[in-house]
Amino acid sequence: MRKSLYILLGSLLVVSCSFPEKKGEGQEAVGKVLSYAEALPLRQKYSDLFSRVEIVPLDTVADFLVADIRQFRYALNRFFVLSGDELLVFDHRGKGMARIDRRGQGREEYLSIRGFDVSEEDSTVCLLTFPPKLMYFSLDGTFVRECVMESRGFEMALLPDRSVAVYADNVKRGDTEKPALLDTYRAEGLRRKSFVQGYSHWEGKLIPSYQQKRVFTHLPDDKGILFSHPLSNRIYSLASADTVEIKYTLDFGKDNPPQDTPDRVRPEMPVTDVVKKYWPVYGFNSCWENSRYLYVQAFVGGECTDLLYDKRSSQFYAGWLENDLLQCQMNPVEATDTCLVGYVPTDNLVHLSEYLRLNPDQKLSEQTKRLMEWADQVGNPVVCLYWKESETSRSFHNPLIKKKVLGEDTN
């Protein structure tokens, strides 16, 4: 299927960007440097990385209709979808199990949800809400507890040491503080610590993002979180409230993104126009990492480009990773060594349907045919599980999914 179709499916969303961190006295820590100038042509396909794809339609029975996917997680054998200001929980077959909707102005209620994460340690869902607080729920949607946390963030992640990372969205908290992008809060007392500075000339403005609205990526085996933002070529690693380091630097030479908004930019100029004019490379998003690969998508010279680093061979590739297993662009979320989890938004299904209407001779796989049948009948997003069959016994430490892949009964 033509590359132009996939590029069309990317949607403009809103997140943020940053300055790199410093390590030592005047010495910048850049992590593993991946040079775009030395990258090999990306000729691999999804079928070279994974054995097959399993699609799991999210059911709409009992009004589990997903208007849009703001954030998505797969944990504890369930799919968690933040849609609007409610959190929907589906089982591994896509059946709706619970809905968390506490909108209101009273106790145990919120006006809006800004982010969420899932604690696999105690099987709870944590919401970052406005008014600013953390609200905890059981997997069936029962309220457990809440605590006030003075944060203006719009996305959150739970770290291995039980602290909280928050995407601060370029917020400035006072005359003496610079705008920030990444804050951490210790579990005890929720004391804040800022790590990544924001853009001084864009204080209070929303920064454009591309592909999907996601800055945090969970690493396998509870090894921490990746933090990446769409206007910076730095990818950070978070292991605790006090441990934030640059893990990777994607080096584009003279085309590296600016570290702050150029002074000559007029204040009234739309942010998206500034990015297109002054950022030769932007849109770093949709990343995932396991022990074998690091994957990032970005716009390089105006072209949507896949960047793939093979750790085993120490080779860096750039180009287009053809999704030959599904024939449709999906949004990746996180990966282990045996499985990549992603989803196909409803808009992507609509675009694919229109493309096929204009190209009736296009050959489709059985999975793609099922995908289109589901889109025509129901319209909810579809979850995609890309399996590496040879190692399914390790997948997500998830016995139910493991049995399903091996053909065993999960009832």
Class of domain 3-405: mainly beta
Give the pLDDT of residue 8.
42
Instruction: Tally Cβ neighbours within 10 Å of residue 51.
Output: 15
User: Which residue positions in the chain have pLDDT lower than 70?
Assistant: 1-28, 172-176, 376-378, 390-411
Give the pLDDT of residue 9.
42
Per-residue HEC secondary structure of the chain comes to: CCHHHHHHHCCEEEECCCCCCECCCCCECCCEEEEHHHCEEECCEHHHHCCEEEEEECCCHHHCCCCCCCEEEEECCEEEEEECCEEEEEECCCCEEEEECCECCCCCCECEEEEEEEECCCCEEEEEEECCEEEEEECCCCEEEEEECCCCCCCEEECCCCCEEEEEEEECCCCCCCCEEEEEECCCCCCEEEEEECCHHHCCCCEEEECCCCCEEECHHHCCEEEECCCCCEEEEEEECCEEEEEEEEECHHHCCCCCCCCCCCCCCCHHHHHHHHCCEEEEEEEEECCCEEEEEEEECCEEEEEEEECCCCEEEEECCECCCCCCCCEEEEECCCEEEEEECHHHHHHHHHHHHHCCCCCCCHHHHHHHHHHHHCCCCEEEEEECHHHHHHHHHCHHHHHHHCCCCCC
With a CB cutoff of 8 Å and minimum separation 6, the contacts of 91 are 77, 78, 79, 97
Give the pLDDT of residue 139.
97
Q: Name the pTM for this structure.
A: 0.85
DSSP β-ladder status, 243-251 and 234-240: antiparallel
Give the pLDDT of residue 174.
65
Identify which of 316, 205, 179 has the alpha carbon closest to the alpha carbon of residue 270.
205
Give the pLDDT of residue 176.
62
Residue for token pair 């592909």: 211
Contact 52, 387 (CB under 8 A): yes
